[in-house]
Amino acid sequence: RKEVEQDPGPFNVPEGATVAFNCTYSNSASQSFFWYRQDCRKEPKLLMSVYSSGNEDGRFTAQLNRASQYISLLIRDSKLSDSATYLCVVNESRGSTLGRLYFGRGTQLTVWP
């Protein structure tokens, strides 16, 4: 079983739509969680960290469910510029100061006009 799993998509949505991605992780000891976005042929860029209480950044909302071991990303009022691949990243703590990072394969989103 993979440490982090994501639905690869693709998700094709019209502008203005709300879209949600989920990501599941296998290690209950995982301590921190992130969403990255990667544009075609570019490096991944940090979109937002995910906090236990859930957090919001403009049109983006991230949530963590430790009991079910998944994190989610909700994008409201989708823009054309939101088209990208969204990567889920889980930091697994093993008692050291350097946690191991696990990346999902990414979920592809295309927003059409």
Partner 1 sequence: SQTIHQWPATLVQPVGSPLSLECTVEGTSNPNLYWYRQAAGRGLQLLFYSVGIGQISSEVPQNLSASRPQDRQFILSSKKLLLSDSGFYLCAWRAGGGNSPLHFGNGTRLTVT
Residue 68 or 96: which CB sits closer to partner 1? 96
Residues that bind partner 1 (CB under 8 A): 31-32, 34, 41-46, 49, 87, 89, 91, 93, 96-99, 101, 103-106
Residue 34 or 111: which CB sits closer to partner 1? 34
CB of 105 to partner 1, least distance (A): 4
Alpha carbon of residue 110 to chain centroid: 15
DSSP three-state, residue 110: strand
Going by their DSSP bridges, the two strands 55-57 and 30-38 should be labelled as: unpaired
Contact in structure between 51 and 66 (CB atoms under 8 Å): no
CB of 59 to partner 1, least distance (A): 20
